Amino acid sequence: ELEAQIFFNNQMGSSFRLTKAVFVMDGAPIYNKTSEKGIKAKKKKKIKVYSGALVPGEHTLSVHLEFSGFGYGFFAYLKGYKFKVRSSHAFSVDAGKSKTLIAVSFEKGGITTPLDERPALKYIEQVAALGD
């Protein structure tokens, strides 16, 4: 059994407030949090979603995020908006190695990109030999 760590890094801009985050690995929920006030990492760091042993082989991480629009003044109209992001990522764990997987939410596109097309997810994998 191997050490695996999964983190979530929310890099969405201030117009998007993260209100729900559900992470499921191989069909089993490993993180589930809902907050209308917004789910935040302590000191803007990554949220640790999972840390523990994983059997070698293929695994699938499924991520379901919900954001609500957030804004004042001219941007107050954003408050009624809800944005959902669903994504899954297949990854493998090799014997004798530790795996770190970081799910990063970010805004894709630019100023002309419609708001509902901006929320996106990418995955960063890091592998290290055990004992390093």
Tens-level pLDDT at each residue, the chain (132 residues): 568 999 999 999 888 999 999 999 999 999 999 998 899 887 768 999 999 988 899 999 999 999 998 877 766 777 778 999 999 999 998 888 889 999 999 999 988 988 889 999 999 999 888 765
The tokens 């009624």 sit on which residue?
A: 80
> Distance from CA of residue 51 to its chain's centroid?
15
State the virtual CA torsion across 71, 72, 75, 77 in degrees, nearest 10: 80
The sheet that has 28-34: what strands, in order across it? Answer: 28-34, 16-25, 57-69, 82-93
DSSP 78: G
